[in-house]
Amino acid sequence: MYSVNYHRATSVADAAKLVKSGDAKLLSGGMTLIPAMKTRLAAPSDLVDLSRIKELQGVKVSGKTVNIGAATTHYDVASDEKLMKVCPALAHMASLIGDPAVRYKGTIGGSVANNDPAADYPAALLALGATIVTNKREISAAKFFTGLFETALKDGEIITAVSFAAPAKAAYEKFRNPASRYAIVGVFVAKGKDGVSVAVTGAGDDGVFRSKEIEAALAKNFSAAALDGVKVPAKNLMTDLHASAEYRANLVAVMAKRAVAAANA
Amino acid sequence: MSDVSLMVNGKRVSGTAEDRTLLVHFLRENLGLTGTHVGCDTSQCGACVVHVDGKAVKSCSMLAVQASGSNIVTIEGLANGADLHPVQAAFKEHHGLQCGFCTPGMIMTATDMIARHPEGLDEATVRAELEGNICRCTGYHNIVKAILAASKTMAKGAKGKAKQAA
């Protein structure tokens, strides 16, 4: 790892000031950033640690509205009893991220800001029609995730929370790479008052996306059987040594089917 | 350079370290606690797992300065004098190791896992919970056996204590 200066922020305002120094990066759980720094893929001059800021932590549920602080860990999301009541699909999704040690440290804000094309949260937030709240503004998930590791965040902008209305039904299913355990394809299905939305991670050439074909089939009939014979085009899907675009296209339909079955169960 | 002050295995320790120093290196090199291992350097293998404020985390994926102010337990802090911790005893009894390199991390993960599942564990849960710990020798079989056995011993111990208290 290259040399770095560490700063522990005491508040969001403090972090906003600190992040202006040099080529600073925000540090939350560090489950991607620290390994990237170890391999010298990332070399920030300064790190601004957000993980001890109280105002960024915790899950709040009021009625159907869910608000999750950006520094809330995957473990805390997965084990939050209020969330399990209103949106068990998201708690379950958080329990599938990485491994137990990673879930104790990694945070929702960190995952969303990094926007790894195989990360789980981007699919969930896009399907849930979530809002990403920063220290400057509110951004809809649809406008937030802009490409591979790319987001609408401006330099120095800090995610403070994520909020959404709990859907009537939802589920997440992922097909994991057997070695890395990252999603080769992950599908989050949500049926809310604005209809059905289906978001796919791990497969898109340009990161997370909504599958129009699957959504159209489910809009008429929200059942696994409605997806029989539905074809997802392989165009704009990733091909790598783990799976071809065509294989991923097929997996999108299969995972969507499983997710709908789980959501209806 | 930053000051790092920690509570490690019940003792207050402090030192200075470069900000880029990983917690695992601080434990091994500054404190001489070489029971915590560096296996992969890519954050996957779990040989470096320690408890930070009661949670089993990978000390190779955290800076020492990030942990400053925390309470840390390493493999050296588990046994009570000459009495092995029940998880250590179970690994010995069930031969949950061959070369032993991954064992400290396995044991620190196992104690955390058992604490989170007071209702008891089954094989599938243990295997899923071991996702972040890699062993190249054993095929995991005896590790799983050891953790299941320790979970039962510790549940009995907790009941015994509750009886004594009552």
Q: What's A140's domain CATH number?
A: 3.30.465.10
End of a domain among A165, A195, A213?
A165
Cβ-defined contact of A99 to B46 (cutoff 8 Å): yes
d(CA B1, CA B14): 13
B42 pLDDT band, cuts 50/70/90, is confident
Q: Does the CB of B4 have a partner CB in chain A at under 8 Å?
A: no
CATH class of B2-77: alpha beta
> Residue B161: what pLDDT?
62
B30-39 residue pLDDT tens? 999 999 999 9
Please state the domain count of chain A.
Answer: 3
- pLDDT-derived band at B166 (thresholds 50, 70, 90) equals low
Residues of A in Cβ contact (< 8 Å) with B2: 6
| Residue A216: band (very low, low, confident or very high) from pLDDT cuts 50, 70, 90 | very high
CB-CB contact of B93 with B146 (8 Å): yes
Cβ–Cβ contact B17 with A under 8 A: no
Q: Does A34 touch chain B (CB under 8 A)?
A: yes
Q: Give the pLDDT band (50/70/90) at residue A93.
A: very high
CB contact under 8 A, A30 and B66: yes
Question: What residue in B sits closest to A101 (Cα-Cα)?
Answer: B57
Per-residue model confidence (pLDDT) at position B165: 54
pLDDT for the residue B162: 59
Quote the pLDDT of residue A2.
95
Q: What is the mean pLDDT of chain B?
A: 94
Q: Give the mean pLDDT of chain A.
A: 97
pLDDT of residue A254: 98
* CATH architecture observed for domain B86-159: Orthogonal Bundle (1.10)
Whether A34 and A80 map to the same domain: the answer is no
Domain containing A11: what range? 5-49
Reduce the DSSP state of residue A54 to 3 states and report it.
helix
Span A209-219, mean pLDDT? 97
- pLDDT tens-digit profile of A2-35? 999 999 999 999 999 999 988 999 999 999 999 9
**Based on the domain organization, do A17 and A37 belong to the same domain?**
yes
Does any CB of chain B come closer than 8 Å to the CB of residue A182?
Answer: no
CA distances from A86 to A17, A56, A167 (A): 36, 21, 8
Question: What does the alpha-carbon distance between residue A177 and residue B10 come to, in Å, rounded to a whole number?
Answer: 40
Domain boundary among A165, A186, A214: A165
Strands (E), chain B: 2-8, 11-17, 49-52, 55-58, 71-73
Q: Does A98 touch chain B (CB under 8 A)?
A: yes
**Complex ipTM:** 0.94
Angle, vertex CA A58, rays to CA A52 and CA A62, nearest 5: 155
